[in-house]
């Protein structure tokens, strides 16, 4: 039995835990304000908010309900557009109304929910942050300018919050319904009641955030016996231990982005993560999932390959340590035993004189899958390259460390000749194919350009 | 006034097709589409699918009780494939089951053995093989053959545009509910309720009065639901008719993308001649339209390409020929602009080619050739032109010379980043080019409590047409908008409607509403005049009261209406409007097909990252001819949205078919439309209020399609930025300018045909070779 709070109502259902939240909300609860747009997390028409207690704090995140199994909201609160409605229009809706930020209206509830997510997020009240909250919402009518204007107004609404708790602030100031103030206590009771439920022993499928598996085999998942990893506290957390960073396999991309350790050691982290999917997807996509789905082009895989990350697998009896660079054996083929689960990922934090850069080019800069992506970690001393690891995605059946290129670069001076030679070597160790994300020739040229881009950035960083 | 639907939109309370509460016993459909693009059906095995739990019945062409035909202009499109398949995704069978999941599961178990036939994806190949939808058409003005000798400069070349997926966020769908005496009611997400009614009537063999089609609103249409909503409605209606149960089918996104047609890709050859003063003396162009496997609306789209082949320019000698080429892609269809954008892209390419070779800015040629009042279009109509006004206001208001200087300085200083600037004038004709379609009806009821209900043929899809119609009634009756309700579009209330298309919906249905409201108001005024024994001219309605000789009386709207009812005066009116003065003779290819034209000029600025090939659209500055806008909030939204959709078409949106005719860009993960970060940083719109009388409703010119074509400027701005980095590199006129094409162009050499990307994936025909 899955139990959660849906808006202001307690629900319990014996429907399959693998059923997606979108279908439950629309076709079983008949809350039709949440729309079906693409069924793959790429349009945001089905965006919902999920509230959960973390360290006794109520935290709201937006997510795409088309990719979220019911099992992943067990013990939490789900908020739909209907839950945001008050007498008349709430101020978020009023801003959208006043700015004519709705035309056909089909995407509109998703935008309103995402903006409510911004209000509940505790993020500083800037128009940029409000706009970032709708980076996963596609509108085909307005051209977004009116939505930008509405988002700026919503940011203004939140300016008086200062340090106040966002949930308390929005309910006290009639930005969102006042019953939200009572959710924290109800969730606490619900979680206590549920303690430890929902762990089938015969699971055939393991699901983290669901953002890939629910795209790949949506239909098969509904009736599958699933072990839900997303809420497993043992797989969460991002911490520093000595000079290494440890990331729980079920940590989300948002967790990574918000981690103080990551922010400290990767000063351009915000720019890099902005290139990875969208806010609602980052809120549910897990770091481990990005590695294990074995996409040749996973953004975090490429990021972590350049950092020479190490994986810890467990089969409940023993652990196995494996360098990430050895995980991929062929297209979607992993060095992983059937009973093994990825527990955590660790890597050595960049030291002095080191530089890190991540590059990604896709047809659309944001909310898209790369044509080619690449990361570069290196140390520079006296204008010479010390350690270097350049990784690349989209240029081979597996995410790749450019071993020969890296070997060549070690010890070389940083200049145009070196870079051009490196690009030539890189061409010999990649095997891109023509597909919807670009032709082979383009991917070859692009990888070379991204290597150039790395060095432009590296030189800039080294200068600081 | 805000869009009247905005309140329920922001609350998630607006009802779309998939939100209609289901009647008990409703069944769900799913189609089995052909897995191959062209072939003969040898066998179709549905036995395994039919045996699955929940499956009620699987329909094939044999179950069609009427005619297995949904082709509108040309009868060349079966509802369900019989012996041959003509495109990947062509419906072959229709599964009806007790749940959506069961229907989709069954589709996966259907097995078709299809003997493959030759697949054509390239319109030039189709043309060479004589595979044409209709005979070619040619528009001519002057004599190009004689004109070339007067030209100082003559340039020839080729230009290509890709297709465009509509990507309405609400997918296609229909819900058919059987009624008594074999009648059927269909809820459809369609821009053309009458087209659905006709298709269903034909397929079921029922007279049209048995087929009720109702449309509440659409979650976007953009032309994609003008003709192509018919299939799903006809499939559901057929199943419901047989089973006597309600049948619903709301398409999955991947079904929608794979099975429906898109904006037509075009390929064209052009030849342009200019004199010493840069006047364009002659222009010849041959268009190859990739129509897909069936006619659909392609002949009409092709016609509009010809109408717009000279964009905003007067050219004394023109010869434009167009071929509608039959290929094995899903039938391409209407899309905002309806062939006009493709015609405009080609002339802009020709002008840009000339400018590039001559080493001048394209704007020098553009400006010298703008249409003036009285200039003749190649199809004979004389221009009531606002083109020079728009151009001169735009270049002065936004200071084109200063913008140009800014770009030059930036490009001189920056090595890895280049800016580009382009001007894009637009001239777009308003009216359906098929003259008979320029008619509409409105049914207005005034109730005895003073409230007003209006039904028209207009379909609301976000463009704000219902808001404008409501404004018409509010103005005529001079009552508060709250007293007026616009009802759903329904073929039993308004018959024989034209689809909501051609930007003309507000004009046609608004004018019909104006006539209906005026008739009722006049009857009421006449009643008052007779009571007071004065002339009708002395009576007016103002601010919900009757005024006599310019003075307010104490008789308010509600009591006026009640008095009218007591006096047995008709408080309802069904009015008919037909656009006057328009005509076209297709045997001569001459006439006066458009009620009026909409003009405007955009300046577009971009920045290209010359390392990565990525770019930003920095600014779009527009002067747009509104006539006299009756709703600036709605019109501004249409312009901003149209511009971004046009830029999407010209930049990131890339429809990719492989050589087997299979759609590779078949989901939102592989087909990218603009998101909030990719839109222009700035869109500035200046409302040019023009004084001339026109046939628009309250002189408020149509605004749906024209702004899309400002987006074409983004292509040329990107091209200019690339050329600032790579002066001598050769790269073709081939939209969209994706980051791939930009990067390949940045590093292209002087040799023609050395860009493998174009050969390999895009090829202008949107075909992945």
Q: Give the nearest chain A residue to B757 (CA atoms).
A: A439
Is the domain of A77 the same as that of A200? yes
Is the domain of A42 the same as that of A6? yes
- The shortest C-alpha distance from A318 to chain B (Å) reads 39
Long-range contacts of B583-589 (CB under 8 A, 24+ apart): B583/B435, B584/B379, B584/B433, B584/B435, B586/B137, B589/B137, B589/B138, B589/B139, B589/B140, B589/B306, B589/B379
Phi-psi region of B427 (alpha: psi -120 to 50; beta: other; left: phi over 0): beta
Instruction: Inform me whether the pLDDT recorded for A460 exceeds 90.
Output: no
Cis peptide before A96 (omega within 30 of 0): no
Is the domain of A262 the same as that of A312? yes
| pLDDT tens per residue, range A254-277 | 999 999 999 999 999 999 999 999
Q: What is the DSSP letter of B587?
A: T
Q: Is B411 helix (H, G, I), strand (E, B) or coil?
A: helix
Torsion sign, CA atoms B692, B698, B704, B705: negative
Cβ contact, residue pair B641, A135, below 8 Å: no
Is the domain of A72 the same as that of A144? no
Write a three-state SS string for B311-378: CCECCCEEEEEEEEEECCCCCCCCCCCCCHHHHHHHHHHHHHHHHHHHCCCHHHHHHHCECCCCCECC
| Tokens coding B494 | 């308004």
A226-228 vs B184-188, strand pairing mode: unpaired
Using an 8 Å CB-CB cutoff, list chain A residues near B171: 36-37
Torsion sign, CA atoms A179, A184, A186, A187: positive
Write a three-state SS string for A131-176: HHHCCCCCCCCCCCHHHHHHHHHHHHHCHHHCCCCHHHHHHHCCCC
Which is more confident, A203 or B316?
A: B316
The verdict on domain B266-432+589-768 having CATH code 2.60.120.10 is no
Instruction: Inform me whether the pLDDT recorded for B762 exceeds 80.
Output: no
Cβ contact, residue pair B672, A363, below 8 Å: yes
| pLDDT tens per residue, range B327-359 | 999 999 999 999 999 999 999 999 999 999 999
Using an 8 Å CB-CB cutoff, list chain A residues near B19: 32
User: Looking at the complex, does the CB of residue B145 fall below 8 Å from at least one CB of chain A?
Assistant: no
With cut-offs at 50, 70 and 90, classify the pLDDT of residue B85.
Answer: very high
Task: Pick the closest to residue A146 from A93, A101, A105 (CA basis).
Answer: A101
CATH number of B439-578: 3.30.365.10
CA distance B498 to B458: 8
Mean pLDDT over residues B298-315, rounded?
Answer: 98
Q: Is B258 helix (H, G, I), strand (E, B) or coil?
A: helix
| Tokens coding B584 | 């076209």
The pLDDT of residue B766: 37
Cβ contact, residue pair A440, B171, below 8 Å: no
Q: Which of B15, B675, B757 sits opposite A441 (nearest CB)?
A: B757
With cut-offs at 50, 70 and 90, classify the pLDDT of residue A198.
Answer: low
Q: Give the nearest chain A residue to B683 (CA atoms).
A: A145
With cut-offs at 50, 70 and 90, classify the pLDDT of residue A56.
Answer: confident
Task: Pick the closest to residue A166 from A115, A131, A230, A213 (CA basis).
Answer: A115
Q: Give the nearest chain B residue to A108 (CA atoms).
A: B10
Neighbouring C-beta atoms of residue B728, cutoff 10 Å: 8
Task: Pick the closest to residue B231 from B290, B181, B294 (CA basis).
Answer: B294
Separation of CA B314 from chain center: 25
Cβ contact, residue pair B676, A436, below 8 Å: no
CA distance B30 to B55: 11
Mean pLDDT over residues B312-332, rounded?
Answer: 98
**Structural domain span for residue A139:** 91-176
Q: Give the nearest chain B residue to A98 (CA atoms).
A: B2
Write a three-state SS string for B426-447: EEEEECCCCHHHCEEEEEEEEC
The pLDDT of residue A205: 87
Is the domain of A446 the same as that of A330? no
CA distance B342 to B639: 19
| pLDDT tens per residue, range A382-436 | 889 999 999 999 999 999 999 999 999 999 999 999 999 999 999 999 999 998 8
CA atoms within a 13 Å half-sphere pointing along the CA-CB vector of B712 = 31
With cut-offs at 50, 70 and 90, classify the pLDDT of residue A111.
Answer: very high
Instruction: Inform me whether the pLDDT recorded for B291 exceeds 90.
Output: yes
Query: What is the number of residues in chain B?
Result: 769
The pLDDT of residue A132: 98
Mean pLDDT over residues A80-109, rounded?
Answer: 98
| pLDDT tens per residue, range B471-524 | 999 999 999 999 999 999 999 999 999 999 999 999 999 999 999 999 999 999
Cβ contact, residue pair B640, A134, below 8 Å: no
Number of domains in chain A: 4
What does each C-alpha distance from B266 to A54, B72, B123, B298 come to in angstroms? 56, 22, 8, 12
Is the domain of A51 the same as that of A136? no
Q: Which of B214, B348, B654, B705 is catalytic?
A: B705
The pLDDT of residue A33: 98
Q: Which of A40, A107, A362 sits opposite B668 (nearest CB)?
A: A40
This complex has an ipTM of 0.96
Q: Which of B612, B652, B674 sits opposite A453 (nearest CB)?
A: B612
Task: Pick the closest to residue B28 from B211, B207, B175 (CA basis).
Answer: B175
Q: Which CATH class is domain B6-117+172-250?
A: alpha beta
Residue B57 neighbours by CB under 8 Å, 6+ apart: B50, B95, B96, B239, B242, B243
Q: What percent of chain B has pLDDT over 90?
A: 96
A9-13 vs A2-6, strand pairing mode: antiparallel
User: Looking at the complex, does the CB of residue B169 fall below 8 Å from at least one CB of chain A?
Assistant: yes
With cut-offs at 50, 70 and 90, classify the pLDDT of residue B693.
Answer: confident
Cβ contact, residue pair B757, A139, below 8 Å: no
Is the domain of A167 the same as that of A257? no
CA atoms within a 13 Å half-sphere pointing along the CA-CB vector of B730 = 9
Cβ contact, residue pair A441, B612, below 8 Å: no
CA distance B114 to B45: 11
CA atoms within a 13 Å half-sphere pointing along the CA-CB vector of B167 = 29
Q: What is the mean pLDDT of chain A?
A: 95
User: Looking at the complex, does the CB of residue B1 fall below 8 Å from at least one CB of chain A?
Assistant: no
Cβ-contact B70, B199 below 8 angstroms: yes
Is the domain of A271 the same as that of A146? no
Cβ-contact A284, A68 below 8 angstroms: yes
- Please give the sequence-ordered ranges of beta strands (E in DSSP) within B243-302, or none if there are none: 247-250, 266-274, 280-292
Is the domain of A30 the same as that of A58? yes
**Measured torsion, CA atoms of residues B137, B142, B145, B151, in degrees rounded to the nearest 10:** -130
Asked if B705 is an active-site residue, the reply is: yes
Torsion sign, CA atoms B562, B566, B567, B571: positive
Q: Which of A32, A97, A135 sits opposite B2 (nearest CB)?
A: A97
Cβ contact, residue pair B739, A363, below 8 Å: yes
Instruction: Inform me whether the pLDDT recorded for B763 exceeds 70.
Output: no
| pLDDT tens per residue, range A351-386 | 888 999 999 999 999 999 999 999 999 999 888 999
Which residue, of A165, A199, A228, is where some domain finishes? A228
User: Looking at the complex, does the CB of residue B740 fall below 8 Å from at least one CB of chain A?
Assistant: yes
Mean pLDDT over residues B8-35, rounded?
Answer: 98
CA distance B593 to B212: 32
Mean pLDDT over residues A61-86, rounded?
Answer: 97
- The shortest C-alpha distance from B64 to chain A (Å) reads 30
DSSP secondary structure string for all residues of B178-228 = E-GGG-EEEEE--S-HHHHHHHHHHHHT--GGGEEEEE---S--TTTTTST
| pLDDT tens per residue, range B575-610 | 999 999 999 999 999 999 999 999 999 999 999 999
Cβ contact, residue pair B683, A368, below 8 Å: no
With cut-offs at 50, 70 and 90, classify the pLDDT of residue A72.
Answer: very high
- The shortest C-alpha distance from A448 to chain B (Å) reads 10
Q: What percent of chain A has pLDDT over 70?
A: 98
Residues 603-662 of B with CB under 8 A from A: 611-614, 633-634, 636-637, 640-645, 652, 654, 656
Phi, psi of B98, deg, nearest 5: -80, -15
| Tokens coding B460 | 């609301």
Is the domain of A274 the same as that of A244? yes
CA distance B494 to B456: 6
CATH of the domain at A58: 3.10.20.30
Instruction: Inform me whether the pLDDT recorded for A196 exceeds 70.
Output: no
């Amino acid at each position: 039995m899955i139990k959660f709070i849906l808006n202001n109502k307690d629900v319990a259902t014996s429907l399959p835990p693998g059923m997606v939240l979108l279908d439950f909300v629309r076709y079983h609860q008949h809350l039709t304000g949440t729309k079906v747009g693409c069924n793959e997390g790429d349009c945001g028409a089905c965006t919902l908010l999920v509230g959960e207690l973390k360290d006794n704090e109520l935290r709201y995140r937006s997510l795409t309900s088309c990719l979220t199994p019911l099992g992943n909201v067990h013990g939490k609160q789900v908020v739909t557009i209907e839950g945001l409605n008050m007498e008349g229009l709430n101020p978020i809706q009023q801003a959208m109304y006043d700015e004519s930020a709705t035309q056909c209206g089909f995407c509109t509830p998703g935008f309103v929910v995402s903006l409510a997510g911004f209000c509940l997020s505790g993020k500083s009240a800037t128009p940029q942050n409000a706009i970032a909250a709708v980076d996963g919402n596609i509108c085909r009518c307005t051209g977004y300018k009116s939505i930008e204007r509405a988002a700026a107004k919503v940011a203004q609404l939140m300016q008086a919050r200062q340090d106040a708790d966002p949930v308390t602030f929005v309910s006290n100031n009639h930005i969102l319904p006042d019953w939200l103030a009572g959710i924290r206590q109800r969730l606490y009771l619900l979680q206590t009641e549920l303690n430890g439920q929902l762990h089938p022993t015969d699971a055939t499928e393991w699901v983290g955030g669901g953002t890939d598996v629910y795209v790949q085999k949506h239909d098969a998942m509904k009736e599958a016996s699933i072990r839900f990893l997303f809420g497993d506290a043992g797989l969460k957390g991002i911490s520093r231990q000595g000079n290494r960073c440890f990331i729980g396999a079920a940590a989300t991309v948002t967790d990574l982005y918000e981690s103080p350790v990551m922010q400290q050691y990767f000063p351009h982290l915000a720019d890099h993560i902005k290139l990875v999917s969208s806010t609602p997807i980052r809120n549910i996509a897990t770091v481990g999932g990005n590695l294990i789905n074995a996409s040749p082009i996973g953004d975090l895989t490429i990021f972590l390959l350049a950092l020479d990350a190490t994986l810890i697998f467990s089969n409940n009896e023993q652990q196995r340590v494996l360098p990430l660079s050895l995980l991929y054996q062929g297209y979607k083929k992993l060095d992983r035993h059937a009973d093994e689960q990825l527990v955590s990922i660790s890597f050595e934090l960049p030291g002095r004189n080191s530089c890190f850069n991540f590059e990604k080019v896709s047809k659309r800069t944001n909310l898209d899958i790369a044509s080619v992506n690449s990361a570069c970690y290196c140390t520079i001393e006296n204008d010479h390259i010390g350690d270097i690891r350049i990784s690349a995605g989209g240029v081979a059946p597996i995410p790749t460390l450019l071993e020969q290129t890296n070997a060549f670069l070690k010890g070389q001076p940083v200049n145009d000749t070196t870079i051009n030679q490196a690009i030539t070597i890189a061409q010999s160790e990649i095997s891109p194919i023509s597909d919807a994300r670009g032709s082979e020739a383009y991917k070859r040229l692009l990888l070379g350009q991204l290597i150039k881009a790395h060095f432009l950035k590296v030189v800039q960083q080294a200068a600081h | 006034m805000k869009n009247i639907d905005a309140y329920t939109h922001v609350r998630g309370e607006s009802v779309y097709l998939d939100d209609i509460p289901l009647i008990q016993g409703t069944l769900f459909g799913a189609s089995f589409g052909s897995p191959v693009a062209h072939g003969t059906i040898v066998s179709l095995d549905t036995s395994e699918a039919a045996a699955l739990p929940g499956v009620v019945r699987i329909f094939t062409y044999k179950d069609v009780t009427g005619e297995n035909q949904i082709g509108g202009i040309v009868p060349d499109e079966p509802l369900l494939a019989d012996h041959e398949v003509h495109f990947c995704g062509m419906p072959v069978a229709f599964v009806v089951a007790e749940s959506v999941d069961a229907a989709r599961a069954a589709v996966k178990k259907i097995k078709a053995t299809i003997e493959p036939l030759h697949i054509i994806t390239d319109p030039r190949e189709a043309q060479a093989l004589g595979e044409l939808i209709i005979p070619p058409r040619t528009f001519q003005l002057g004599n190009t053959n004689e004109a070339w000798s007067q030209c100082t400069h003559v340039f020839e070349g080729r230009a290509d545009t890709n297709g465009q997926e509509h990507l309405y966020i609400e997918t296609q769908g229909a819900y058919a509910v059987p009624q008594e005496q074999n009648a059927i009611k269909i809820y459809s997400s369609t821009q053309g309720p009458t087209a659905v009614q006709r298709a269903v009537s034909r397929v079921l063999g029922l007279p049209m009065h048995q087929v009720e089609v109702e449309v509440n609103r659409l979650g976007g249409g953009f032309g994609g639901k003008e003709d192509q909503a018919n299939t799903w409605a006809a499939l559901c209606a057929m199943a419901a008719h047989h089973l006597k149960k309600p049948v619903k089918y709301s398409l999955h996104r991947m079904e929608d993308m794979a099975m429906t047609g898109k904006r037509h890709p075009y390929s064209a050859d052009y030849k342009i001649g200019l004199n010493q003063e840069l006047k364009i003396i002659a222009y010849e162009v041959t268009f190859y339209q990739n129509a897909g496997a069936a006619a659909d609306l392609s002949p009409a789209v092709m016609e509009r390409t010809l109408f717009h082949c000279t964009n905003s320019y007067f050219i004394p000698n023109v010869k434009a020929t167009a071929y509608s080429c039959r290929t094995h892609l899903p039938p391409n269809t209407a899309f905002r602009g309806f062939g006009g954008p493709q015609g405009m892209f080609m002339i802009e390419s020709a002008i840009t080619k000339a400018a590039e070779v001559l080493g001048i800015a394209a704007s020098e040629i553009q400006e010298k050739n703008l249409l003036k009042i009285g200039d003749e279009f190649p199809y004979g109509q004389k221009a009531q032109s606002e083109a020079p006004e728009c151009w001169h206001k735009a270049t002065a208001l936004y200071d084109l010379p200063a913008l140009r200087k800014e770009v030059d300085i930036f490009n001189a200083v920056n090595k890895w980043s280049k800016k580009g600037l382009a001007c894009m004038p637009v001239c777009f004709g308003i009216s359906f080019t098929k003259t008979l379609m320029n008619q509409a009806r409105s049914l207005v009821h005034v109730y005895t409590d003073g409230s007003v209900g209006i039904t028209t043929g207009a379909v609301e899809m976000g463009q704000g047409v219902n808001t404008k119609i409501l404004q018409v009634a509010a103005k005529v009756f001079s009552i508060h908008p709250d007293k007026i309700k616009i009802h759903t579009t329904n073929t039993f209330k308004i018959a024989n409607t034209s689809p909501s298309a051609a930007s003309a919906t507000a004009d046609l249905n608004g004018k019909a509403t104006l006539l209906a409201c005026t008739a009722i108001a006049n009857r009421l005024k006449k009643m008052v005049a007779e009571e007071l024994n004065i002339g009708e001219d002395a009576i007016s309605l103002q601010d919900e009261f009757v005024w006599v000789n310019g003075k307010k009386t104490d008789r308010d709207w509600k009591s006026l209406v009640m008095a009218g009812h007591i006096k047995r005066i008709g408080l309802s009116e069904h009015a008919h409007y037909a656009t006057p003065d328009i005509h076209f003779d297709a045997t001569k290819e001459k006439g006066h097909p458009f009620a009026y034209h909409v003009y405007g000029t955009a300046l577009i600025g971009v920045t290209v990252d010359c390392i990565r090939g990525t770019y930003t659209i920095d600014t779009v500055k527009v002067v747009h001819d509104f006539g006299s806008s009756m709703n600036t909030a709605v019109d501004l939204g249409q312009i901003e949205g149209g511009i971004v959709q046009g830029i999407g078409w010209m930049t990131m949106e890339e429809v990719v078919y492989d050589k087997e005719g299979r759609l590779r860009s078949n989901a939102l993960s592989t087909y990218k439309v603009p998101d909030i970060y990719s839109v222009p940083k700035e869109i500035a719109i200046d409302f040019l209020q023009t004084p001339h009388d026109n046939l628009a409703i309250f002189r408020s010119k149509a605004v749906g399609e024209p702004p899309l074509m400002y987006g074409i400027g983004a292509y040329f701005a990107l091209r200019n930025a690339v050329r600032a980095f790579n002066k001598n590199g050769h790269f073709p006129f081939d939209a969209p300018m994706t980051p791939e094409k930009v990067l390949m162009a940045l590093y292209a050499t002087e040799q023609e045909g050395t860009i493998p990307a174009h050969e390999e994936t895009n090829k202008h025909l949107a075909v992945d070779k």
